[in-house]
Amino acid sequence: VQGPATIDALARVPSRVQLFCFSAVTWNPHRIHYDPDHARSEGYPDVLVQSHLHACFLVQALTQTLGPEAIIRRFSFQNVAFATAEEPLTCSGALHASRRVPDGLELEYELTETDSRGDMCARARATVLMPTAESQVSE
């Protein structure tokens, strides 16, 4: 028994408005995310997508495929390259390992997020518990 072998591709295009709202709601005042002049002064072509927003997209890809019953126990991500506002991003992934545990099936997925040129912006690894019917009944 194992979980889905692949994570369905998820497309996201983070708009300037979204970057602003994400900075606001996470209380992230770093100018690099909303001040284009400042971003350029640091050598970037435009405002940057937040590190954690990349991570949110990767988690959304995972839960889109695995469904709400999946319990994410561990999630690690690395920002590999920057992405700017309005850049189309695509998240996808594949099953790396699976094993039975007392409360269900533990799955390990590897995920990547790439930009429109196919270059990787972020990668992640997630450990997910899929409760089995037996473990749910026994609870």
Instruction: Give 128's contacts (C-beta < 8 A, 6+ positions apart).
Output: 3, 62, 66, 70, 71, 72, 73, 106, 107, 108, 109
Residue 52 or residue 100: which is nearer to other proteins going by CB? 52
Q: Which residue has the tokens 């940057």?
A: 48
Residue 120 engages other proteins in binding (rule: CB under 8 A): no
Q: How many residues bind other proteins (CB under 8 A)?
A: 37
Burial 106-119 (b: 16+ CB within 10 A, else e): bbebebbbbbeeee
CB 127 within 8 A of CB 105: no
Residue 17 or residue 137: which is nearer to other proteins going by CB? 17
Residue 16 engages other proteins in binding (rule: CB under 8 A): no
Q: Collapse the DSSP code of 8 into the 3-class scheme (helix H, G, I; strand E, B; otherwise coil) and give the result.
A: strand
Interface positions, 37-96, toward other proteins (CB under 8 A): 38, 41-43, 50-53, 55-57, 59-60, 68, 72-79
Residue of 16, 28, 84, 86 interacting with other proteins (CB under 8 A): 28
Residue 104 engages other proteins in binding (rule: CB under 8 A): no
Residue 29 engages other proteins in binding (rule: CB under 8 A): yes
Q: How many CB atoms lie within 10 A of CB 101?
A: 11
Q: What is the binding site for other proteins (CB under 8 A)?
A: 12, 14, 18, 21-22, 24-32, 38, 41-43, 50-53, 55-57, 59-60, 68, 72-79, 122
